[in-house]
Amino acid sequence: MKLDNTDVRILKVLQENGRLSFRQIADRVKVSVPTVSSKVGSMENMGIIKGYTATLDPEKLGGISVVLSIKTKPVDIKKVAEQFQENESVRQIFMLSSGKLMLMCTFHHQHLINDFLSKMADIHEIIEFDIANIVTVVKENQRATVTPESSVVLTCNYCKKEIHDNAYKVKKDDREYYVCCPVCQKGFEVKYDGIKADSVNVKA
């Protein structure tokens, strides 16, 4: 699925400033307020807009950031990645095509880095790792970029597979959901209505 020019312009404006009102976005993009509201709503539903957050400055908050590169056996990489998932100091985890894991972490004291490293020593699946402090942030933007050629990879709300052809829309309670085929559409509707009926029964 492709984004249209208005989608792209709205995303660029929002990426600059997520606090703008629909009216302000409409003025900048030169479309109507209802157009902005419906396009933003459907891009939220599609998961293109993941949320609206304040961008904080880690250094001003006294954070020490480090980049870790971790080598494991290919069979262990997922398991090792999962061990870091709940750790608040680990801010980003990337699995790389090189077979390594890259972690971006922010700590508030040097001794917390040492604690972290000693806990890492208990993860036997780690073959070797590299750690370096971030000294200067030269450039740090969001990874997402939007261009008029951006195509959207949707995930089927029923079978969870990626949708590469046309998506089917299901409208439920004023929200649009995307599915990959008529079979998933039927399945999703039955499941959705079932969950809804259950929650109504619980309330009653």
**Burial state string for 180-192 with b = 16 or more CB within 10 A and e = fewer than 16:** bbeebbebbeeeb
Closest separation between CB of residue 114 and Zn ion, Å?
47
Looking up tokens 């293109």 gives: 48
**Residue 1 or 159: which CB sits closer to Zn ion?**
159
Closest separation between CB of residue 152 and Zn ion, Å?
16
Question: Quick one: tokens of 138?
Answer: 């030269």
Q: In whole angstroms, how far apart are CA 198 and each of 171, 172, 191, 202, 204?
A: 19, 16, 11, 6, 10
**Half-sphere exposure of residue 196: CA atoms within 13 angstroms, side-chain side:** 8
- How many residues appear in the chain? 204
**Residue 51 or 182: which CB sits closer to Zn ion?**
182
Closest separation between CB of residue 179 and Zn ion, Å?
5
Closest separation between CB of residue 161 and Zn ion, Å?
5
Can you give the binding site for Zn ion, defined by CB under 5 A? 156, 158-159, 180, 184
**Residue 164 or 196: which CB sits closer to Zn ion?**
164
Closest separation between CB of residue 175 and Zn ion, Å?
18
Closest separation between CB of residue 159 and Zn ion, Å?
3
Question: Quick one: tokens of 71?
Answer: 């080598």
Question: Quick one: tokens of 103?
Answer: 């972690």
Distance between terminal CA atoms of the chain?
Answer: 41
CA distance 15 to 142: 9
Question: Quick one: tokens of 14?
Answer: 């929002």
**Residue 127 or 183: which CB sits closer to Zn ion?**
183
**Residue 90 or 180: which CB sits closer to Zn ion?**
180
**Residue 35 or 45: which CB sits closer to Zn ion?**
45
